[in-house]
Amino acid sequence: MKLSKIFFLLFIILNFFSICHAEKNDQLTIKISKNLRCLTCQGQSIYDSQSDFAVSMKILINKKIEQGLSEKEIYELLKDKYGEWIVYDTNFNRNTFILWGLPVLLFFLGGAIILRKLVFRKV
Amino acid sequence: MLANHIGHYSLVIGLLTSILIFLLSLKSYKSQIIDKRIFSISFLQLFFVLISFLSLVICFVISDFSNETVFNNSHTNKPIFYKISGTWGNHEGSLLLWLLVLTLFLFLFLINSKNELKRYRILTVVFQQVIIIGFFLFVLITSNPFNYLFPIPMEGLGLNPILQDPALAIHPPILYVGYVGSSLIFSATLAAVIENYISKNWAKNIKIWILISWIFLTIGIMVGSIWAYYELGWGGFWFWDPVENVSLMPWICLTALLHCILVLEKRELLKSWTIILSIATFTLSMCGTFLVRSGILNSVHTFANDPSRGIFILCFLFFLIIIALIIFFIFNKDKQKDYKKIYFFSKEVSILVNNWFLMYFLSVVLIGTLYPIFLEVLIDHKISVGPPFYNKLIVPFLIFFLIFMSLGPNLKWIKETNIKNKFQLFIFFFISLIISFIIYKKIGKTNLINTVLIAASFYLFIVTIKDFFSKELYNISKKLSHFGFSMLILSILLNGILSTEAIINLKVGEKFTFKNEQIFFKSLENNQKENYQSVVGYFKVEDDKKNISLFKPELRIYDQPVVITSEADIKTTFFRDRFLVMNTIKGNEYFNVRYQVKPFMIWIWISTLLLAIGGFLSLYNRLYEK
């Protein structure tokens, strides 16, 4: 495990000087920061905000990427620290299955009603 | 001082006229003769509310700080334009505006419905007056715009600078006309249910009001998005923010109603569904007011709120919903004993499919907006529902929606339609798939769902263009709106996938390279303006071909209240917007510079405008027909 981490770090360091990678990192930082809520502002993402909190978060995200953490790991890290509130992309879990399920359920229910009405009439 | 008193008393008189009209109309409902006095008193009511509104405007213009609302939201050194727009830039004033539009709409309805059923007209007045009385009480009890302050303060607290903007000055009134229009649809529907008047004729007349609301809602939402695009300073125009959602929901519902009413008009089908949609649209508009005003929502746009007001609106809303439901279940006689045949491939079925999908989108937005609130109240667990949620749930369904939308309008009423030119439609689909594949190849990303989505929107785009130039010219409004919608979806998608940006910290004299462009931070300039201090940065952007453009983004430091806003500089061309904004970094000579290239940005606005113009043409036809 440790060996793989070292390899991974080496890999990152080797790539570090190539501009391509830096740009990729930037894009990833943007992508991640768009998906995080700024906790000190009202309803803005970290990407949109210029508050102290948002600025320091952006630096943190950048650091974590450089350390080789994946997007998902960064989300998990921040969730542990600040709670689920911080990520805009909620997972499917015990608390959110209704959120994800209900619209789709309603869609099929609506389809069933329409179909029944039409078929029922045709008979 | 004087204006303040006049405003307050005309508001009270307005409430009295409301009660008077309510009683008079009940009386005329029994006697079945419309009391002529209803007209004159309605006019009087409109007059008094207008006086009240104008006196508030005057209070703002002359900066009368003995008025609490003016004190809280204005300042002497604010430009006159924003003094006036400040009238509805706050809670109290915006409610007064609601009230004004409510009474105006009722008055217009009264004088424009002469050839309709008498009892239906009177009942509409009754229901509308119930709503108006509710709002009068709401304004007078919980949010009186004419509260008196003593001793009179020397200076006001000022208007949130982010609201000092031309787009946001006109955004609320336009949106409110849309919202309030739905109240008239609500009243008229309830009246028609009781009178058993839901018919072809009714559909024809109510469609005018639906169109009016729909046009204003469309434009209102558009203006709001434009404002968010250039003022909030991050280059986005839609964030699936709760307050944005709240304006989108009535729009979706109204769009469904607009299509559904066609079926009612042509075939007298879907009566109950039309009633439900009318009630739902108004409920959603009221819910919007409740959610925004109660402070439950956590959003960029919540500028003024107070929990006690929320409770009032909530109770009032429940009262109206319960009345609506009782009326619906007791009086609705849509048993449809007459047997009407419906074919699968007919226009009515395609409209049903349209409503089905729209209701799904509505439920996604509704659940996404409300679920976090309920979760927090019930189990005290905070979650955020953001753009990824909406994208994941809407995009897959949008594909089918777009395909149905390309096919549906070509089907015929009543008859089973054989789709002609099947081959042609197939070719079109093939072409769009190839186009979308090429686009994705070019930007070097691959994503199956997005490729298909773009293909579907290209398909709709091609088909609507073909329809546009084909044979019958009679339904130009529909064609225009559908074309606008296809273009809207297409430009949003292309804008989304083709946008590029760079974020960098720069100080004066530095430059950086982004793709094939060089951005050079030339200089800074300080200016003192009327009510803010402005810091303008000069940026020179030069591309490969030596095309030079100068960007002048600005930072504004407002005095009252002290707030820093950043104004982006946007260079708009036909094919792309270039967007440059800068921000300060604390304790540092560096500025945070954000440079974005956003293709097809202007087409998003143009296509929304086309959508609205289509609605306007349809409205014009209706009025002209009459």
Same domain, A39 and A72: yes
Residues of B in contact with A88 (CB under 8 A): 384-389
Same domain, A47 and A98: no
- Interchain CB contact of B503 with A (< 8 Å): yes
Q: Provide the b/e sequence for B200-218 (b: ≥16 CB within 10 Å).
A: eebbebbbbbbbbbbbbbb
Pick the closest to residue B224 from B175, B182, B180, B179 (CA basis): B175
Q: Which of A48, A85, A98 sits opposite B232 (nearest CB)?
A: A48
10-residue averages of pLDDT along chain B (626 residues): 89 93 89 83 94 94 88 85 87 89 92 86 92 93 87 82 83 89 93 89 91 95 90 79 89 95 87 92 86 63 59 87 92 65 79 94 94 85 87 92 86 72 80 86 77 89 84 77 93 89 85 85 86 88 86 85 83 89 80 88 94 93 77
Cβ–Cβ below 8 Å for A103 and B364: yes
Structural domain span for residue A65: 2-89
Q: How confident is the model at residue A84 (pLDDT cuts 50, 70, 90)?
A: confident
Number of domains in chain A: 2
Strand partners, B526: B535
Cβ–Cβ below 8 Å for A95 and B379: yes
Same domain, A7 and A55: yes
pLDDT value for B294: 65
**Locate tokens 């609500």: which residue?**
B186
Tokens of B186: 């609500």
pLDDT value for A1: 47
pLDDT value for B303: 46
pLDDT value for A16: 46
- Interchain CB contact of B388 with A (< 8 Å): yes
Pick the closest to residue B620 from B228, B612, B110 (CA basis): B612
Select the residue from A32, A50, A98 to test the B interface by mutation, using most B Cβ atoms within 10 A: A50
The residue of chain B nearest to residue A44, with distances taken between CA atoms, is: B300
Cβ–Cβ below 8 Å for A89 and B364: no
- Interchain CB contact of A44 with B (< 8 Å): yes
pLDDT value for B92: 86
Cβ–Cβ below 8 Å for A43 and B242: yes
User: Is-contact B196 B272, C-beta < 8 A?
Assistant: no
Q: Find the CATH number of the domain harbouring A30.
A: 1.10.8.640
pLDDT value for B512: 86
Lowest-pLDDT range of A26-40, A51-65, B258-272, B331-345: B331-345
Residues of B in contact with A100 (CB under 8 A): 389, 393
Residues of B in contact with A28 (CB under 8 A): none
- Interchain CB contact of A86 with B (< 8 Å): yes
Same domain, A95 and A116: yes
B357 CA: distance to closest CA in chain A (Å): 8
Same domain, A78 and A42: yes
The residue of chain B nearest to residue A97, with distances taken between CA atoms, is: B371
pLDDT in tens, A85-95: 888 888 888 88
Same domain, A14 and A39: yes
Pick the closest to residue B485 from B457, B456, B454, B453 (CA basis): B457
A18 CA: distance to closest CA in chain B (Å): 16
Instruction: Tell me the average pLDDT across A33-49.
Output: 80
pLDDT value for B308: 72
- Interchain CB contact of B335 with A (< 8 Å): no
Same domain, A13 and A69: yes
Residues of B in contact with A48 (CB under 8 A): 232-234, 236, 239
Cβ–Cβ below 8 Å for A86 and B344: no
pLDDT value for B295: 63
| pLDDT surpassing 60 at residue A2 | no
pLDDT value for A94: 83
Cβ–Cβ below 8 Å for B387 and A52: no
The enclosing H or E element of B70 equals helix B68-73
Which residues 268-307 in chain B show a CB within 8 A of chain A? 297-302
Residues of A in contact with B501 (CB under 8 A): 30
- Interchain CB contact of B337 with A (< 8 Å): no
- Interchain CB contact of A91 with B (< 8 Å): no
Same domain, A47 and A73: yes
Which residues 395-434 in chain B show a CB within 8 A of chain A? 397
Q: What is the DSSP letter of B142?
A: I
Cα(A36)–Cα(B246) distance, integer angstroms: 22
Same domain, A7 and A52: yes
Same domain, A53 and A107: no
Burial grade of B469 (CB within 10 A; 0-12, 13-18, 19 or more) = exposed
- Interchain CB contact of B344 with A (< 8 Å): yes
Same domain, A104 and A54: no
Same domain, A35 and A77: yes
Pick the closest to residue B567 from B77, B85, B162 (CA basis): B162
